[in-house]
Amino acid sequence: MTAPPTDDAAAAGRAPRGRMTAPPTDDAAHLPYTPPVRLVMAPDHLDLWLVRGPEPEALAGLLAAPELSARERERAAGFRRPRDAALYAAAHLALRRVLGGYLRVAPTDVPFVREPCPGCGGPHGRPALAHDGPPLHFSLGHSHGLALFAVAATVLGVDVQRVPGAATVGYVGRMLHPDERAELTARRPPPRHVFGQLWARKEAYLKALGTGLSRGTALDYVGADPTHRPPGWTFIDIPCGPEHQAAVALRGEWPARIRTRWLGAGAARTDHESKSGE
């Protein structure tokens, strides 16, 4: 199991802020990462955006998108596999376009910053937005052909993982909270999907705290019993297909509305909306 994906767009430079402009005309169908609706965030809502990874051949077109920063292009170029690089670029392009839609600014003008690290106070904590309007928070994760980012008016973290193999379950399972380990060892062999969902909750929570895996993974319980999870936080398991598992850790109560949308090449732009209690 690897460390959670970092939101490197948060450290990127940006052009002077300006008016929201239409995204540049895409020269191919592999750049459909523009939100299809007017975006408004209510205080008790949660919006989830899923991005299906493009084919490796799309990488050149993605890197040519003018919205991406030099830092984002550099990070994408650092991936060994073109497929992973294309997913990274697509996820960050979609994130910029979607956040620009909420903030009514151009994607290049999304005001990314880093909050102070809770551990050392350095400028590498949770990615955030520096703007004067109502609170708007986001979190991004991507793994093996799928990216997920969430947007809400309260602090949150997301994680998406490919369903782990048995070897990963055995190795990483030793790093869990004692009660989480007990839950897994009570079932032989430990179900991969049960472990994967638990780990997605854990990484989502650590990202919401702003610590990532620098905070010990055995400190906090996010297992099967919701009453024993960290107080003041809501954990939501996100269905995202048979090969991945995902979760959101949200400060506060269960949202009154959760809306899920897909973006990206080959992914239908469908909405799914659920309300509290459904």
Q: Write down the pLDDT at residue 32.
A: 61
CB atoms within 10 A of CB 176: 22
Cα 164 to Cα 219: distance, rounded to the nearest angstrom: 22
Q: Write down the pLDDT at residue 6.
A: 37
pLDDT digits (tens, 9 = 90+) for 6-53: 333 333 333 323 322 223 333 333 356 788 777 999 999 999 999 999
Q: Strand ranges (DSSP E) for 22-131?
A: 45-52, 112-114, 127-129
Cα 234 to Cα 155: distance, rounded to the nearest angstrom: 11
Q: Write down the pLDDT at residue 50.
A: 95
Q: Write down the pLDDT at residue 41.
A: 95
**For 195-204, b where at least 16 C-beta lie within 10 A, e where not — what string?**
bbbbbbbbbb
Q: Write down the pLDDT at residue 11.
A: 34
Q: Is 184 helix (H, G, I), strand (E, B) or coil?
A: helix
Q: Write down the pLDDT at residue 277.
A: 52
Question: DSSP assignment of 27-55, as one string?
Answer: SSTT---S-SS-----TTEEEEEEEEPPP
Three-state DSSP string of 139-174? EEEEECCEEEEEEECCCEEEEEEECCCHHHHHHHHH
- % residues pLDDT > 70 (the chain): 84
Q: Is 25 helix (H, G, I), strand (E, B) or coil?
A: coil
Residue 259 CB-density burial (10 A; 0-12 exposed, 13-18 middle, 19+ buried): middle
Q: Is 179 helix (H, G, I), strand (E, B) or coil?
A: helix
Q: Write down the pLDDT at residue 278.
A: 56
Q: Is 246 helix (H, G, I), strand (E, B) or coil?
A: strand
Which residue numbers in the chain have pLDDT < 50?
Answer: 1-30, 266-269
